[in-house]
Amino acid sequence: MNDEAHNFILEFFCKRRRLSESAVPRGLADMICAVTAPYLLMIECLDALDSDPSSGLLIKLIDRAYETAAGSLALFAIGHLREAEILSCSVYES
């Protein structure tokens, strides 16, 4: 991923979660970008299918899955490792 895309995605992620980009370690920033980039691409592609009534439901399902992963990454970024694991386990195992 080029630096421009990396910076855009990291800024998008941090603004939505009120995190400071400078507080996110490089390795975690790479992980955030790896999770967020496919989400943004899927939403953009599905948004173009407005005529299909099922696309709204699919967008909502994808959004929920992404927000769970993003929530875990945000908790990880602020040092709440246990809570990040609990969030991911409780959602994915239920």
Report the pLDDT averaged over residues 14-19.
94
Structural domain containing residue 71: 3-92
Report the pLDDT averaged over residues 12-40.
93
User: pLDDT, tens digit, for every residue of 36-46?
Assistant: 999 999 888 88
Measured CA angle at 18 (ends 14, 19), to 5 deg:
55
- Answer yes or no: are the C-beta atoms of 36 and 9 closer than 8 Å: yes
pTM to 2 decimal places:
0.81
Of 68, 65, 78, which is closest to residue 24 (Cα–Cα)? 78
Q: What's the total number of domains in the chain?
A: 1
- Rounded CA separation 25/52 (Å): 40
